[in-house]
């Protein structure tokens, strides 16, 4: 067993959640104003408007608090220590990669543990860029994807998100008994798991910590987007087919898209979220945010939305519109080229070409390779602009 003592700098952005002011009082949905467009992310809680990047940092904290309160719940704190147990190492892909599988245990022998792993190229380095997936990347079912990532010169890391939350609306197992004070739903707990993988990677000497991406598919795409929004160590966030509560929009609902009502029903996936989110059913126009707020938290780091145009349930049009509504924040922070969308024909499946797009965009973000025309195309060029505000002048 290896003990990894985690210095505060390795614990992500969790410390920024510590309250230094009196707790914010958030209004009930019925007391919030009706908004006829996507809300303005630059509008401060006190009624003023962001005018400088420094003021945006204040607004960033406000947005994070609001999203955690209304939508996702509060995650546990980062652990004080972490140990690696039961590690096995094997070669893969004809000797081109080395697979490390292990258990990460937090806060001592009686603390929470989850299975995790990292696959590293055997050539190149000495430090590798890395893609962190909200998924175990080391099993047979992910073998071809892992090969694709390794052949592009990237390390590939992930964890068994079911160890954190078993996706069965059961708070008696997984992470919950260790942090009973946390009111977070499944999505924020899975995001927390991705951040713990980042903690582990920070203790290795063969990972380039300036070149970490986080990704996930479907419900794991929602969690990956949340992890990227909450943890500044992820230089690139790539949600795939993440839909409602992820990259889609609660307000912009073309035919066939999953609604806030449907996803939060008691017989569906209410437990992924804070129970407060369901209070906005039939009051979506009173939401003080939409998913462009979550995307805006990533700026000025990089964001790539990946969608299939026939995946109507995941709301491709709403994904485009929330990206366009987050773009003014990226532009305000000098990162207008760091928010993009890649689309293809087809549905909800995760395909090799999706991973190729992720790696191409990572090459742009990490190595300044050409961004390329596929990342500049809008799938719905004629969709009406869903907001009237813009970025403050600089």
The three-state DSSP-derived secondary structure of 171-197 is: CCCCCHHHCCCCCCCHHHHHHHHHHHH
Nearest to 185 by CA among 204, 169, 197: 169
pLDDT at residue number 18 = 42
Given CA atoms 186, 187, 188, 191 in this order, what sign does their dihedral have? positive
Residue 10 has pLDDT above 90, yes or no: no
**pLDDT confidence of 394, banded at 50, 70, 90?**
confident
Name the burial class of residue 196, with classes exposed (0-12), middle (13-18) and buried (19+) by CB atoms within 10 angstroms of its CB.
buried
* d(C-alpha 118, C-alpha 186), whole Å: 23
Question: In this predicted model, what pLDDT tens digit does every residue of 237-265 receive, in sequence order?
Answer: 999 999 999 999 999 999 999 999 999 99
Q: Which two tokens stand for residue 200?
A: 């582990």
CB 279 within 8 A of CB 255: no
- Report DSSP state, residue 49: B
Q: What is the average pLDDT across 118-145?
A: 95
Question: In this predicted model, what pLDDT tens digit does every residue of 194-203 receive, in sequence order?
Answer: 999 999 999 9
**Phi and psi of 202, rounded to 5°?**
-65, -15
- State the maximum Cα–Cα separation within the chain, in Å, rounded to a whole number: 62
CATH of region 25-78+128-135+185-375, choose from 3.50.50.60, 3.20.20.70, 3.30.70.360, 3.40.50.1820? 3.40.50.1820
Helix (H, G, I), strand (E, B) or coil at 232: coil
CA separation (Å) from 319 to 49, 64, 216, 276?
25, 20, 15, 23
pLDDT at residue number 5 = 55
Cβ neighbors of 71 (< 8 A, separation 6 or more) are: 245, 273, 274, 276, 277, 289
Q: What's the mean pLDDT when you consider all of the chain?
A: 95
**pLDDT confidence of 175, banded at 50, 70, 90?**
very high
| Neighbour tally for 153: CB within 10 Å | 15
Residue 204 has pLDDT above 60, yes or no: yes
- Report DSSP state, residue 70: I
* d(C-alpha 53, C-alpha 64), whole Å: 16
Q: What is the average pLDDT across 211-229?
A: 98
Q: Provide the edge-to-edge strand list for the sheet that holds 97-106.
A: 2-5, 81-92, 97-106, 113-121, 155-159, 128-133, 207-217, 236-240, 302-308, 339-344
Name the burial class of residue 192, with classes exposed (0-12), middle (13-18) and buried (19+) by CB atoms within 10 angstroms of its CB.
buried
pLDDT at residue number 241 = 98
Length of the chain in terms of residues written: 394
């Amino acid at each position: 067993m290896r003990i990894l003592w985690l210095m505060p700098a390795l614990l992500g952005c969790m410390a920024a959640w510590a309250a230094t002011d009196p707790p914010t009082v958030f209004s009930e949905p019925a007391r919030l104003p009706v908004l006829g467009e996507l809300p303005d992310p630059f509008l401060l809680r006190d009624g003023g408007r962001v005018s400088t990047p420094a003021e945006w940092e204040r607004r960033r904290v406000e947005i994070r608090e609001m999203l955690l309160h209304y939508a996702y719940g509060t995650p546990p704190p980062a652990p004080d220590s972490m140990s690696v147990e039961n590690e096995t190492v094997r070669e893969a892909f004809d000797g081109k990669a080395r697979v490390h599988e292990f258990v990460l245990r937090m806060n001592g022998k009686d603390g929470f543990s989850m299975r995790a792993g990292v696959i590293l190229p055997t050539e190149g380095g000495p430090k590798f860029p890395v893609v962190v997936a909200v998924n175990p990347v080391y099993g047979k079912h992910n073998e071809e994807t892992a090969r694709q990532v390794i052949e592009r010169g990237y390390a590939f890391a992930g964890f068994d998100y079911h160890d954190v939350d078993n996706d069965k609306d059961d708070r008696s197992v997984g992470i919950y008994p260790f942090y009973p004070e946390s009111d977070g739903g499944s999505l924020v707990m899975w995001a927390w798991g991705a951040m713990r993988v980042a903690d582990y990677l920070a203790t290795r000497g063969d990972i380039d910590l300036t070149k970490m991406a986080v990704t996930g598919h479907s419900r794991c795409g929602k969690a990956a987007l949340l992890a990227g929004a909450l943890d500044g160590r992820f230089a690139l966030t790539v949600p795939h087919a993440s839909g409602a509560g992820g990259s889609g929009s609660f307000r912009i609902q073309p035919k066939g898209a999953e609604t806030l009502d449907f996803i939060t029903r008691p017989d569906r996936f209410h437990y992924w979220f804070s129970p407060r989110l369901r209070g906005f059913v039939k009051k979506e126009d009173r939401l003080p945010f939409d998913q462009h707020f979550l995307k805006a938290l990533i700026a000025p780091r990089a964001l790539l939305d990946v969608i299939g145009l026939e995946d109507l349930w995941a709301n491709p049009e709403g994904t485009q519109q929330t990206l366009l509504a987050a773009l003014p924040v990226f532009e305000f922070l000098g990162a207008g080229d760091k928010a993009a969308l890649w689309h293809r024909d087809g549905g909800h499946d995760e395909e090799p070409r999706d991973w190729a797009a992720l790696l191409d965009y990572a090459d742009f973000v990490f190595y300044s390779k050409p961004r390329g025309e596929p990342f500049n195309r809008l799938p719905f060029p004629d969709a009406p602009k869903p907001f009237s505000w813009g970025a403050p002048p600089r």
